[in-house]
Structure 1
Amino acid sequence: MKIEPVNTEFGLKRTLVTPGASYLLGRIWGRILDFGLILWVVRVPLASVVLGLLLMAAVTPAQDVTLDVAMAGAPVGAAAGLSRAMIALLAAVFLLWAMPVHYAARLLLETDEGIAAVLARRSAAAVAGGRKTDFIFCQMLRHVPRLLGALTFVAFAIGAMKAVDNLPTLADRPAMAAARDQLVLLSWTMLAGAPAFYAYTLLRGLVTDHGPLKGFDAALGRRLAGIFAMLGIAPRPDDPEAELHATGRLVLLAYALLVIVVLAASPHWLAQRLPLAFAVPLILGGWVPILSYLSSVGRRFHVPILTGIFLAGAIGTYLFGDNHAVRTLTATEPAHRRTSLLPAVKLWMRANGCAEEPSSCPRPVIIAAAGGASRAGFFTASVIGHFLDFEKHKTAFSFTRADGSKINRAARDDGRFTPQIEQALNGKDMATRIFAISGVSGGSYGAAVVAAALAARTGAAAPCPDKTPEGWFGGTVAGWRDCLETMTAGDYLTATFFGLAFHDQVQLFLSDRAALLEQSWEQNFARHVRAADGKAAPDSAERLAAPFLGTPRDPERWVPFLILNGTSVETGQRIITTDLLPTYAANGRCPSGGPNAECALFTHAIDFHGLVRSDLDVRLSTAATNSARFPVISPPGSIYQVDTDVVDRIVDGGYFENFGVESALELAEAMVEVEPRLAPFILVISNDPASVLTEERTARSSSGVVVPDAPDQAALTEATGPIGAIGAVRSGRGRLAVATATHWLDARFGTRCGANLVQIRVWPEAVKDGHCPVGQATPEKVRDVSMSWWLSKPVQMNLHEQLEPTADRCNNANAVTAVWAALATPSRACIGGTP
C-alpha cells in the first residue's frame, strides 16, 4: 500500500490512493457497517441503556434517588460505609436491568437471520483464507451484549456522582459531608459492578457448560423445544456453542410475564418493595424482553411491528379514548352544598369569635402556595406548620434530627415575635386565622394535606404518631410542623413512574399514573393518621380519599377553604376546583365585572364542578391532582360531562400562573366587597430559587424591569426557545400577580397595619460553593432543587432550614416576623377603626 502526492496541471496537489489503501478503507467501512447492523438488531436493549445513561446524567430527580440508597435509610449524619442497601441496589441492577439487557441482546443476535447470513459469508471467506472463522465479527457478537449489560452499572455510577453536585448547603455540616461521602462510595460501588458483570458473562460457561447444570439445561431445551420454535426463539442450527441456553430463554420469558402480571395487579405493592432507585432497573429493564421479541419478529417477517404497535395505540386512543379520565365518584347530600362567599366569611368569623363585631376580627389569611411537586407540597406544609406551632414557639425548645443532632430554638421563635404579639395570640387557634389556601400543582397537594390534617385533629393536637416515620429527616414528631412534614415526605414517585412506564403504555382497564399518584397520597396520609393511636377524629384517615365536598363546614374545628388552580387545554383559562360557590352577591361594585347579583368569584375562570354532572364529585386527592398535572409526571385529565363526552382536558395550574396569587387576590377583593370591615392578608409560599434572583434583580432596577442576561450560545433554539419560554412564564406570571396583589392591598389598606403581602421563599444557592448569590452584580448559575414526587432527606433539611435565621441575605427572617405581626393584628387597625 502506498499513498503519493501527484502534481496537477495547475500546480495543485492531490492524493493518489493505491489499491492497497482502498482495500483497507473498505475493510474498515465494512466493520463499521457490521457494527451498525449489530446495534440495529439490538436496538431495544441499546435504547434501554442509552435512556438510562441520559436519565442519570441529565435529570436531577433521577440522580437524587441514588441518595436514598447512599444514606441507606440510616441517620442522615451516619458515617460513610458500604451498606446492605448498596449491595441490594447492585443486585437489583444485575437482575432487573443488566441481565435482561444482556440476555435479550444475545437472543436477538442468535436468532436474527440477517446476522446469521453475514456470519455465514464471513465464515466462508475466512475458511477460504485459511482461518476458522471471522474473529472480529464473532467478537462483536459476543461482546456487544456484555458491554450493554455492564453499562447499566455505569449509569448508576454517573447518577450518584451527579447527585453530589445537587447536594444543598446545610447548617448541619457533618450530615452534608456524610451524604457526599456516601454518594461517592455508592458511585464507586456501582462502577465496580461493571467489570464484575463483564467477568460473570465471561466465566459463566465454566459453570453452565459442565456437570449437572449442562444436563439439566439440555433436558429443559428438549422439553421446551416446541415452545421455543413456536415463539421464534429456538437456537440457530448453525450456532455450535449455543451460548444462550434453554434456561436463559426461559428466565427471560418468565421475567417478561412476571413484570406484566405484577405491575398490572398491584403497582403500589411493588412500589413498597422496590422503591425509588430500586425501581429504576425494573422500569428500564422491564419492557426490554417484550419489545426485543417484537423487534425480532418484525425483522423476521420484514414488518415494522414496533412502529405499527405505536401507530395502532395512537389510533386506538383517538377512536376509543385513553385512560386519563379525571376520577369521579357519585356524590351524596350534602356533597354539593358548596358554601357561598358571604356565609363562608360569616363561618370564619364565628370560628374566630368575632361575628358580632367584624372589625375586631383578625386579618383573614389567604395563603398562595406555588407549584413544584413534592418540593412545593413539603415546603407549603412546613411553613404552615411553623405558624400552627405558636404554643411551641413561645418557649425555648430543641429539635432532634434523625441522626441525633439537636437544633436549639430560642423563645418567641428566636425572637421573631414580640411579647405584645405573644399576648395577642395567647389562647388562639392559629388554624382559624387561615381563611383559604390557593394552590398550584405541588402547592395544591400541600394545601390538601393541611386541610385533611386539620379535619383529622381532635382539639389542638396534630393527628400524627410520636414515632418517626420512614423517609422523614427528623427525629421525634412533636407538633404541627413535624406532622405535616412527615405527611408530605413520602415516596409518591415510584408508583407514578410504574404507571408511566407500564400502565399508560398498555392502558386498557388499568389506572393511569395520575390515579396511582392520588392513591399514593391517600395511602400515605391514611398510614400516618391510623398510626396516631386514636388522636384523630373518626374516619379521618380516609380524608384524602373522601369526597372533596362531602365534609360539612364546622366553625368549631375550622378547616380552610381550598382554591386549587388547574389550566384548561381548550381555552387556556384557569379551571378551579373549590369548595366555594363560583358566584356571590356583591354589595356594590362587582370586582370581576358583570351583574352584582351573580358576581364571578374568579375572573374568566372555569368552575370544575360546573363541567361534570351534578351528581358527581371528586376525591380530595383528585381535586389536588386537577392542579398538579405537570408534563410527563401526570397526563392531561379528561373531564367527562357524560360517559362519552369529553368537555375539556385539565393540565397543571402552573401553565397559567405558578404562584396561585391571582386567585388569592380575587378572593381578597371579593371578601372585602361582601364584608368591608375585614382586611385580608396574603401569604405567598414560593419555592423556585431561580425566580428569587429575577425578583431581586427587578427590585434593584431603577425602572422596575429586570435586564435579561441570556447565554451567548444556545443549542436548537427553535425548540429550546419556546419550551424555555413556557417554563419561564410560569414564574413570570406569578411574579406579576404578586406585584399586582401588593399594589391593590397597599392601595386599600396602606401601611397602617404593616405588610399586607409577605412572600416566604426557597432561596438560591450558587453552584460553585453554595453561597448566597443574591445581590451579586452578575447573575450566577444556581443549583437545581429536585422537583419530583419524592424528596431526599438533605433536600428536606434544606427546605426546613429556609425558616431559620442566617447571617447572609438569603433568609426568611423578616418575612416570618411580618407574618407573626399580621396574625396578631386586628382588621380594624388596617381600616382605620371603621366600624
Structure 2
Amino acid sequence: MPTQGPLSLLTRLHWCGRIVFACRVSVLSALAGFLLFSFVPQARDLFDDISYGPLPYSPFAWGMWLLFFVYVFLIWAFPVHFAARAILRTEAWMIPSRLRAAVKDDGLGCGEAVKEELAHIRREIDGCIRWTPRILGSLPFVAGFVVFVIYRQRIFTMSGRSAEVLAVASALAVTVFFILSYFAPFLQAGIAPRALVVPFLFGSLVFLGAALSWLGDLVGLPLLAGAIALAFGVTAFNQHFNDLRVLDGAPKDLARRQIEIADAVGKWKSANHCEGDKPCPPALIVAGEGGASRAAFAAATAIGDVLERSKQLPDHNELSPARRIFALSGVSGGALGAATVRTALWDALSRNGAAPPCRRAPQYWFGATEGDAEARVASDWRACLQALVSGDYLTAAFIGLGFRDNLSPPAHIVSGPTLLRDDRAALVERAWESYYDDVVEGRRSWNWNAARRGGPESASGLRRPFGYVAEALEQHDRAWLPMLLLNGTSVDKGTRILASDLVSTKPGTPHQGDIGGRAPLYPAAFDLFEMLSTPCPPAAVVHHACQEAHDDFADVPVRRDGADVRLSTTAMLSARFPIVSPAGTIRAKGDGGQNGDRVVDGGYFENAGITTALDVARALRGQGVTPILLWVQNDPTIDLDDVKEAEAPRSRLDRLAVTNPKTGEIPQFPPRAASTPRLQGAWPGWLQAFVAVVATPFEALTATRDGHALEAAETAQRRLQEMNAEARCVEGDCSLTASYFTFKMFRNPHFDEKADRCRALANVRQQPVMGVVSMSWWLSQSVQAELDSQLCDTRNRQSLDDLMKRLAQRLK
C-alpha cells in the first residue's frame, strides 16, 4: 500500500515544478506578455495611443480600450487559465506514458494503488494546482489589474457549460483571426490595430499548443516541439519567401532609370540658376540616421523645417522648394523618411506647385486634434511630412512575425494573386504604401483593398518605381528633386548595398589609373540594380570591372537590365533590422535566380548614412559644387551642458568619473594624447557577466552601429573642411564657412522665448527632460510631440539658422 503521510517540502516543490511544466504553453504565453510590457518601451508606448481621442473625453477611446480588455480576457487570459486548468484535471502530466502502461490494473490491484497514491498527491499539492491557472490567467491583466480583481471570483469559479461555451467562443475568435491573418492581413490590422493585436499574438495559440502538449504527455512524444519544427521546416523549404519584391515585366526605360552625376549636377544648377560660370549656392546633402519610425519622423521634422525656411531665400522657387537639397541619404527608418520626403516632393511637382501634397490630417499624427490640422498639412511642409510618417506599420509586422512567417508553404503550393506569399517585410512595405496614399489622396480606405492594387494605374506614391527622376524633371522647366541614396548591408560581403538614383560609376581620369574609362562613385559598395541584372560574363571581367557595362568613358545602361523595384521596397532594403524584418534575398536575372546576395539593415555597416553622403560630396566637389552636410539624428543624447540633470547610462559615480568638471562634457571618443583615458568601467555588472558569452558580442555588435556612425561623422567634418577650403563666398553672409550641421535629439533640451512657436514650451517646461522615446514602426502621439519639440531647442535652432545662412550664399 502507498504511504499516506504528508509530502516533504522538496517533494512539494518537485510536484509544483511538474505542474508548471505541464502548463508550459500557458506559462510561456503569460510570462512573455508580462515581460514584454514590463521591460520593452515600444510595448508600453502602445498604451499611449490617442488616435481615437484622449481619455476621459472621447467615447471612441473608451470603446477602444474596453474592446482591448475584452480581447485580453477572451483571447488571452481565459485561454491561458482554461487550458492550464484543463490539463491539470487529467493525469497525463503526473505519470510518464511508459510508466502508465506498466501499472495498468493486471488483477493484482496495482492500478488502484497508483490511483489512490495520485489522489493523495493531488490533495497535498491542491493549492499549487488551483493557484497556478489563476496566477497565469491574472498575468495578462496586469495592465488592467483592478478590473480583473473585481471579477476574478466569477472568472475562477466558472465551470461546466459556461466555461465550455466561453472556450468555444474564444476558439472561434482565434480561428477567424488566423484566417484573416493569412488571407486578409490588412483587414485584420484594421480590426485589431496596435495594442489590440497583442492579445491575439500571445493568446491565440494557447489552446492549440496546450492540446498538443497534453496529447504529447499522454502518448509520450514531443508533439508540441515536433509541430513547431514542422512549421519552421515547411517555411525553410520556401526558398523565395524573403525575396525582394520586384515589379513584373520589363523596366520602363533603362536609359532613364538612373542618372549620371554630371547630368544630375547640371539639372541642380539649372534649378538654382547657376549654370556655366555663375556662382552657385552650396549643395546640401541630408543624412538620416537609422531608428525605425522615430528616425523617419525626425528626418521629416528637420527636412520639413528646412523646406519651410527655404521660402525666405532670395531666389525662392515655387516649383522646387527643395532645390538646395542635392541628395537624401538614409539608413533604416531614415531611409523611409528620405523616400517619403522625395515622394511627397515628386507629388507636389506633378501638381505644378510647391504646396505639400497632403489632403487630410490622419488620426495618428499628434497634431490631428488641433482645429486647423487639415489646413496645416495642406500648407506646411513640416506638418505634411510628419503626418506622412506617423502611420501604424507595427501591426502588419506583428501579424507577419507572429503567424505568417512561421508557416509559409513554398511558392509552387501557394499560387495566384494572394498576399499569402508576402513575408513580414513585404507587409510593412504595403502598410507604408497604403498609409501614404490615404494621407495624400485624402480618403480613408481599407488597407486590404489598397494593398491589393496593382498594375500601372497604381504606380504612384511609394508604389512608384524607384528612379526615373530625369523623366519627371524634364516635364518642368528648372525643376528639381533630390537624389535618393538608400543604404543596406550585404550579408555575404558586409559592405553597403545602395539603391541610388545616381549611376554607380562616373567617367574616369586616366592619370588616376581608373580601369576601362569608368571610376566608381561609391568605392566598395554594391548597386542594387547591378545586383538584380544579368551577371557579367567571367570573360568580360577585368580588374573588377565589367567591360560590357561601359563604352570607353560612356556608361551602357542597358547592361543593368534588372527589374524595376518599388520605392517602398528600396526603403525596406535599408530597414531590415533583426526579428522585426527578415534578411531580404536579392536574385540576379537569369540562371534560375541562383546568383545574388542577402541584404540586412544598413545600420550593420554604419547607422548614419554619412559614408554614402561623403562619396557623393566628393563627386560634387569634382563637379565644381560646394557640398555641405546636415546629419539628422534621432537617438536621444545626454546634454553635455546639463550633465547633473541627465540620467547616466550606469551610475552617478560612473558619470562623474568621465565628466570634465570644468566643461561638463562626456567624451564620445577617447581623448587624444591621453595615456589612460577614463571610460565607463571595465566590469559590466553581474547580470551581463553571467551571460557574457552571448551578451558581450551582441552588445559590441549593437554599439558598432553607432560607433561607425560617429567615425563617419568625424571623417565627414574633416573631409568637407578640406574640400571646401578653396570655395569663395561672393554673395550673402560670408562670415559663415561651416560645411557640417546637425539636428539632434537632446535628453535635456533648452527652450527659450526667442521663437514665437517655442514661447509656450519655454513657459511650460522650464527645465524639461525628454521622456522615453521608443523605437519601433509605431510612434505614439506623445513621442511625436517630444521629437517635434526638439525644433525649439536653442542648439538645434541655431544649427538650422546657420544652415539657412549658408544656403543663402553664392560661391565661386
| TM-score bracket, shorter-length normalisation | 0.7 to 0.9
SS at match of 1:682: strand
Structure 1: segments with no counterpart, 5+ residues? 1-19, 158-189, 218-243, 395-421, 767-780, 829-835
Secondary structure class of the residue paired with 2:243: coil
Q: Which SS does the other structure have where 1:378 is aligned?
A: helix
Contact preservation (8 Å) 1:295, 1:305: yes
The residue that corresponds to 1:736 in the other structure is: 711
Whole-Å Cα distance in 2 between the matches of residues 671 and 567 of structure 1? 24
SS of alignment partner, residue 242 of structure 2: coil
Contact 1:522 1:542 in 2 (8 A): no
Deviations 1:202-246 (A, max 9, x none): 3434xxx5xxxx5xx8xxxxxxxxxxxxxxxxxxxxxxxxxx63x
- Aligned residue number for residue 106 of structure 1: 85
User: Which residue number corresponds to residue 544 of structure 1?
Assistant: 462
| Structure 1 residue 817: Cα displacement | 1.4
**CA shift in 2, pair 1:97/1:361, >3 Å:** same
Sort the Cα spacing of 1:782 and 1:456 in 2 relative to 1 into closer, same or farther, 3 A: closer
2:630 maps to amino acid:
L
Q: How does 1:27-38 map to 2 (within 5 A)?
A: 27-38=8-19
Q: Which amino acid aligns with 2:401?
A: L
Greater displacement, 504-513 / 642-651: 642-651
Post-superposition offset of 1:80:
13
Of 137, 140, 144, 2:132 maps to 144
How far apart in 2 are the matches of 1:73 and 1:530? 21
Offset at residue 313 of structure 1 (A): 4.4
Among residues 32, 40, 48, which one is paired with 2:21 in the alignment? 40
Change (3 A) 1:426 1:324: closer
Alignment TM-score, normalising by the size of structure 2: 0.77
Displacement of 1:688 in angstroms is 1.7
Could you tell me which of 714, 737, 762 is aligned with 1:754?
Answer: 737
CA contact (8 A) 1:761 1:812 kept: yes
Query: Which residue pairs with 1:655 in the alignment?
Result: 604
Query: Which letter does structure 2 place at the counterpart of 1:567?
Result: T
**SS where residue 758 of structure 1 aligns?**
strand
1:202 corresponds to: 156
Tell me what 2:791 maps to.
Answer: 803
CA distance in 2: counterparts of 1:568 and 1:321, whole angstroms? 18
Query: What SS does the corresponding residue of 1:360 show, helix, strand or coil?
Result: coil
After TM superposition, list the pairs within 5 Å mapping 1:302-381 onto structure 2: 302-321=220-239, 323-330=241-248, 331-334=250-253, 337=256, 338-357=258-277, 359-381=278-300
The answer to whether the aligner puts 1:558 opposite 2:459 as a matched pair is no
Distance 1:122 1:452, change over 3 A: farther
Q: 1:102 to 1:134 in 2, by over 3 A?
A: closer
Structure 2 Cα separation of the partners of residues 449 and 122 of structure 1: 74
The structural deviation recorded for 1:482 is 0.2
Aligned residue in 2 for 1:709: 680
Amino acid at match of 1:362: P
Match of 1:513 in 2: 424
> Per-residue deviation at 1:145?
1.9
The sequence identity of aligned pairs, in percent, is 32
**Secondary structure of the corresponding residue to residue 491 of structure 1:** coil
- 8 Å CA contact 1:377, 1:443 repeated in 2: yes
The reply on whether 1:823 has 2:807 as its aligned counterpart is yes
CA offset at residue 745 of structure 1?
1.1
Q: Which amino acid aligns with 2:565?
A: V
1:115-134 map, 5 Å: 115=94, 134=122
Deviation of residue 55 (structure 1)? 0.7
Instruction: Measure, in 2, the Cα distance between the counterparts of 1:60 and 1:80.
Output: 27
User: Does residue 788 in structure 1 map to residue 776 in structure 2?
Assistant: yes
1:567 matched to which residue of 2? 489
Give the length in aligned residue pairs: 680
- Select 1:634's aligned residue among 568, 578, 581: 581
Secondary structure (helix, strand or coil) at the match of 2:198 reads helix
- For 1:15, the equivalent position in structure 2 comes to none
In the alignment, is residue 720 of structure 1 matched against residue 642 of structure 2?
Answer: no
Separation in 1, partners of 2:785, 2:571:
25
Residues in 2 aligned to 1:765 and 1:805: alpha-carbon distance in whole angstroms: 9
Q: Deviations over 1:554-577 (max 9, x none)?
A: 163422111100000111000111
Pick closer, same or farther for the CA change 1:540–1:507 going to 2, 3 Å. Answer: closer
Deviation at 1:741, TM superposition (A): 1.0
CA spacing shift, 1:553–1:367, aligned 2, 3 Å: same
Distance 1:336 1:259, change over 3 A: farther
Counterparts in 2 of 1:41 and 1:390: CA distance versus 1, 3 Å? same
Match of 2:69 in 1: 90
2:361–2:387: 8 Å Cα contact kept in structure 1?
A: no
How far off its partner does 1:589 sit? 6.8
User: Once the two structures are superposed, what CA deviation does each residue of 1:657-693 show, in whole Å capped at 9, x if it has no partner?
Assistant: 00000100011101222x12x1011111111224876
**Matched residue SS, 1:599:** strand
1:679 to 616, 626, 633: 626
- What SS is found at the alignment partner of 1:432? coil
> For residue 451 of structure 2, what is the aligned residue in structure 1?
none
Residues 639 and 748, structure 2, Cα contact 8 Å, conserved in 1: no
Give the gaps of 5 or more residues in structure 2: 415-419, 445-455, 534-560, 641-657, 660-664, 729-735, 750-768
Per-residue displacement from partner, 1:403-422 (whole Å, max 9, x unpaired)?
Answer: xxxxxxxxxxxxxxxxxxx5
Task: Give the residue type in structure 1 aligned to 2:8.
Answer: R
Change (3 A) 1:501 1:629: same
For residues 39 and 634 of structure 1, what CA distance do their matches in structure 2 show? 33
Change (3 A) 1:448 1:712: closer
Report the secondary structure of 1:812's partner residue.
helix
Answer yes or no: is the 8 Å Cα contact 2:75–2:174 preserved in 1: no
1:704 to 1:802, Cα distance in 2 relative to 1, 3 A: farther
Letter in structure 2 aligned against 1:37: R
Match of 2:366 among 440, 451, 472: 472
Does the aligned pair in 2 maintain the 1:627–1:651 contact within 8 Å?
yes
Q: Which amino acid aligns with 2:246?
A: T
Distance 1:387-1:132 versus aligned 2 partners, 3 A rule:
closer
Q: Distance in 1 between matches of 2:61 and 2:280?
A: 58
State the shift of 1:254 in Å: 2.3
1:228 maps to none
Cα deviations by residue, 1:241-266 (Å, 9 ceiling, x for unpaired): xxx63x35533542442232111111
Counterparts of 2:202 and 2:255 in 1: how far apart (Å)?
44
Report the AA paired with residue 99 of structure 1.
F
- Matches of 1:426 and 1:257, distance apart in 2: 56
Q: Secondary structure at the match of 2:253?
A: coil
Distance 1:444 1:122, change over 3 A: farther
Return the alpha-carbon distance in structure 2 between the equivalents of residues 703 and 251 of structure 1: 67
1:460 counterpart = 2:354: yes
Mark the CA change 1:564 to 1:819 in structure 2 (over 3 Å): closer, same or farther: same
CA deviations on 1:300-349 (whole Å, 9 max, x unpaired) are 22221232234344544555526211111134321563111111111211
1:264 to 1:426, Cα distance in 2 relative to 1, 3 A: closer
Local SS of the residue matching 1:439: strand
| Matched ranges for 1:398-437 at <5 A | 422-423=313-314, 429-437=320-328
Distance 1:704 1:565 in 2: 35
Indicate the SS of the match to 2:196: helix
Q: Following superposition of structure 1 onto structure 2, how do residues 522-533 of structure 1 map, counting pairs within 5 Å?
A: 522-531=433-442
Q: Does 1:503 align with 2:404?
A: yes
RMSD of aligned alpha carbons: 3.6
Query: In 2 relative to 1, CA 80–31 (structure 1 residues): closer, same or farther, beyond 3 Å?
Result: farther
Distance 2:32 2:181 in 1: 21
Aligned-partner Cα distance in 2 for 1:559–1:496: 31
Moved more, 288-297 or 266-275: 288-297
- Within 5 Å, give how 1:70-85 maps onto structure 2: 71=50, 73-75=52-54, 83-85=62-64
Quick one: distance in 2 between partners of 1:648 and 1:195?
Answer: 54
Q: One-letter code of the match for 1:823?
A: L
Q: Deviations over 1:713-770 (max 9, x none)?
A: 242222221111111111111111111111111112239652101111111249xxxx
